[in-house]
Amino acid sequence: MKGKVIAVWGIAILVFAGLLAAALVWDAERGLRNAHELVLAHDREVQLQEERFFDVLVQIGRPVEDFALLKRRFQRAQTIRERETVFQELLARIGQPQAADPADPVARRAADEYAGALNRRQIALRRYKEVAAQYDARSRGWQGRLARHFSDLPEQITD
């Protein structure tokens, strides 16, 4: 009788340990997946601000050589790094914004639109980098390594 009780308790402990391990894996994977979704949401926000910047350039009539080519390259870009390369190339071609004539309200409005669009993109990019760094730190921890073992999530977002 005593042997049966010990066997039952042993099985119960093994089942409990298995459930505990499954819960730990599930929680680690869910946490890392949520962090990854947050990174993707911030990536979409950066992309939205970049698209708005392109639209502002069209609205204010800021001429850029090969604008259509750059916009197509931007739209085909698959990652934030590729978009960043195209965006930096666009900024290099535009050059530094000229000071607007204070007497010309149209020029002032165009300069404000340009500066505002660029600023919104920089703010979104800064937040993206913060969230991506948090994901990377979480991914490198023991829970992140455990979660990546059971999922298809990337190990690292930033370079």
- For residue 157, being part of any structural domain is answered with no
For the chain, give the mean pLDDT: 87
**Total domain count for the chain?**
1
Q: Output DSSP code: residue 151.
A: S
- For residue 17, being part of any structural domain is answered with no
Q: Residue 100: pLDDT above 80?
A: no
DSSP string, 19-66: HHHHHHHHHHHHHHHHHHHHHHHHHHHHHHHHHHHHHHHHHHT---TT
Q: Which of 35, 71, 33 is nearest to 54 (CA)?
A: 71
- For residue 144, being part of any structural domain is answered with yes
pLDDT number for residue 96: 66
- 51: exposed, middle or buried (C-beta count within 10 Å: 0-12, 13-18, 19+)? middle
Q: Which of 125, 129, 132 is nearest to 45 (CA)?
A: 125
- For residue 110, being part of any structural domain is answered with yes
Domain of 93 in residue numbering reads as: 31-149
pLDDT number for residue 17: 92
Taking residues 31-55, report their average pLDDT. Answer: 93
- For residue 8, being part of any structural domain is answered with no
- For residue 6, being part of any structural domain is answered with no
- For residue 88, being part of any structural domain is answered with yes
**152 or 10, higher pLDDT:** 10
- For residue 129, being part of any structural domain is answered with yes
Taking residues 132-155, report their average pLDDT. Answer: 87
Q: Residue 46: pLDDT above 90?
A: yes
3-28 pLDDT, tens digit per residue, is 788 888 889 899 999 999 889 889 98
Taking residues 116-133, report their average pLDDT. Answer: 94
